[in-house]
């Protein structure tokens, strides 16, 4: 059986293209009697970007705290806030920010047309009704959230980090403006951008392969090497490359390996942001990804990036157990990377020792 694959139907790409958002929203306003609901990274709370949004009377603006990963309870609260402010279904949901804000917008758009809570839809093909029409505008690039079919959510009580994996989660329209990357703090730009490199090399080294995903992955890795091995990863040219790499890499992001599950443990237990978590993961997985580890270390040094240390030092036994369980629960990507006997390689002791070295 071959899966019928859905990608984002439309995108606008180019410097200054944010100015076209009003034109993209116009037909939605005419077609549906409901507000536009914006979910914007809290970084922009007092930023001039807010004044550039084509907001009209009745539209809603919600700021997403990107200092921690999206949690199912927060998604539920956003859904309730949107419905309480206006009982009508929105004509459009707009996500503006990094993967956190983009995933939040996707998750809320799903919940607005499907009953229940966010945790009910963590898994594969659980969303039954089409979501509210949505537009994604990344201001960080690397996670590929703008074009993936999932929105990754943390479920603290269940010690789980898992997405709403569904064709209904895919954005209907993207607006890709490289100028929006110019204000990203340098370390954050690297942590997020390098995610493209990581999920693509994981895909290329796994057993779940197909020629189309390989083609996307190869090109995205090449772009990342050009960006992060250059003298300035944030030059105007490299910002454009980074946005392209994230877009095409995101379409190849479904079959990851060990890095992402390892990072998921950090996200669930210590609330480490996804991009940074991936960097910390690869930094202790050099035996599994030796070539990529060496490239990664060269990139960090070339770009002058700071990688925190001591994050997992002197944790409780309960926390170490949570890290282990938060990683090992991801059977599909671990099997993709290491085979069905992955638990014999990544034993509890092996994983906890790796976490302790972070």
pLDDT, tens digit only, all 358 positions of the chain: 677 889 999 999 999 999 999 999 999 999 999 999 999 999 999 999 999 999 999 999 999 999 888 999 999 999 999 999 999 999 999 999 999 999 999 999 999 999 999 999 999 999 999 999 999 999 999 999 999 999 999 998 888 888 999 999 999 999 999 999 999 999 999 999 999 999 999 999 999 888 999 999 999 999 999 999 999 999 999 999 999 999 999 888 768 999 999 999 999 999 999 999 999 999 999 999 999 999 999 999 999 999 999 999 999 999 999 999 999 999 999 999 999 999 999 999 999 999 999 9
The CATH 1.20.1090.10 portion of the chain extends over 186-357
**How far apart, in Å, are the Cα atoms of 350 and each of 185, 323, 324?**
34, 12, 9
Give the dihedral sign, CA 85/88/92/98.
Answer: positive
**How far apart, in Å, are the Cα atoms of 95 and each of 219, 239, 263?**
26, 20, 24
Q: Is 339 left (phi over 0), alpha (psi -120 to 50) or beta?
A: left
Give the rounded distance of the alpha carbon of 282 from its chain centre.
Answer: 17
Q: What is the pLDDT of residue 62?
A: 98
Exposed / middle / buried, residue 125 (Cβ in 10 Å: 0-12, 13-18, 19+): exposed
Q: Which residues lie below 8 Å from residue 93, measured CB to CB, with a gap of 6+?
A: 36, 37, 39, 105, 108, 109, 112, 131, 132, 133, 134, 135
User: How many Cα atoms occupy the beta-carbon half-sphere of 22 within 13 Å?
Assistant: 7
Q: Write out the two tokens for 278.
A: 């991936």
How is residue 71 annotated by DSSP? B
CA-only gyration radius of the chain, Å: 19
CATH 3.20.20.70 fits 10-181, yes or no: no
pTM assigned to the model? 0.93
The CATH number assigned to the domain with range 186-357 reads 1.20.1090.10
Q: What is the pLDDT of residue 204?
A: 95
Exposed / middle / buried, residue 45 (Cβ in 10 Å: 0-12, 13-18, 19+): exposed
**What is d(CA 219, CA 292) in angstroms, rounded to the nearest whole number?**
15
Q: What is the pLDDT of residue 251?
A: 86
The CATH 3.40.50.1970 portion of the chain extends over 10-181
Beta bridge partners of 12: 175
Q: What is the pLDDT of residue 254?
A: 67
**What is d(CA 269, CA 254) in angstroms, rounded to the nearest whole number?**
23
Dihedral angle at the C-alpha atoms of 307, 239, 169, 4, nearest 10 degrees?
Answer: -110
Given a contact cutoff of 8 angstroms between Cβ atoms, the answer to whether 94 and 36 are in contact is: yes
Long-range Cβ pairs for the range 4-8 (8 Å, 24+): 6/149, 6/167, 6/170, 7/147, 7/170, 7/251, 8/136, 8/146, 8/147, 8/170, 8/171, 8/172, 8/173, 8/174
Q: What is the pLDDT of residue 357?
A: 96
How is residue 262 annotated by DSSP? H
- Which segments of 58-144 does DSSP mark as H helices, in order? 72-85, 99-111
Given a contact cutoff of 8 angstroms between Cβ atoms, the answer to whether 208 and 336 are in contact is: yes
**What is d(CA 292, CA 307) in angstroms, rounded to the nearest whole number?**
17
């Amino acid at each position: 059986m071959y899966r019928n694959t859905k990608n984002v139907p439309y995108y606008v790409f180019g410097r200054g293209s944010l100015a076209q958002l009003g034109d993209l929203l116009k037909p939605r306003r005419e077609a549906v009697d409901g507000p536009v609901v914006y979910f914007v990274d809290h970084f922009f709370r007092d930023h001039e970007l807010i004044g550039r949004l084509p907001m009209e009377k009745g539209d809603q603006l919600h700021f997403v705290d990107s200092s921690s990963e999206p949690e199912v309870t927060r998604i539920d609260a956003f859904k309730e806030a949107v419905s309480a402010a206006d009982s009508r279904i929105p004509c459009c949901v707009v996500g503006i920010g990094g993967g956190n804000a983009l995933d939040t917008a996707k998750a809320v758009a799903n919940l607005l047309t499907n009953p229940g809570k966010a945790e009910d839809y963590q898994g594969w093909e659980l969303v039954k009704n089409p979501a509210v029409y949505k537009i994604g505008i990344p201001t960080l690039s690397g996670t590929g959230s703008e074009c993936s079919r999932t929105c990754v959510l943390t479920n603290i009580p269940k010690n789980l980090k898992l997405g709403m994996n569904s064709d209904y989660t895919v954005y209907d329209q993207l607006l890709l403006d490289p100028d929006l990357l110019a204000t990203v703090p340098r370390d954050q730009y690297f942590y997020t951008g390098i995610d493209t490199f990581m999920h693509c090399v994981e895909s290329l080294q796994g057993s779940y392969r197909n020629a189309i995903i390989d083609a996307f992955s190869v090109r995205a890795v090449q772009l990342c090497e050009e960006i992060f091995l250059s003298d300035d990863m944030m030059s105007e040219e490299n910002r454009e490359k980074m946005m392209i790499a994230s877009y095409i890499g995101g379409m190849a992001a479904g079959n990851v390996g060990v890095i992402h599950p390892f990072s998921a443990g950090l996200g669930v237990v210590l609330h480490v942001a996804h991009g940074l978590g991936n960097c910390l993961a690869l930094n202790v997985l050099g035996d599994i990804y030796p070539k990529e580890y060496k490239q990664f270390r060269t990139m960090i040094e070339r770009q002058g990036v700071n990688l925190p240390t001591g994050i997992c030092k002197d944790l409780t036994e309960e926390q170490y157990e949570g890290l282990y369980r938060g990683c090992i629960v991801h059977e599909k990507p671990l099997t993709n990377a290491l085979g069905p006997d992955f638990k014999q390689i990544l034993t509890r002791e092996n994983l906890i020792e790796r976490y302790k070295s972070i």
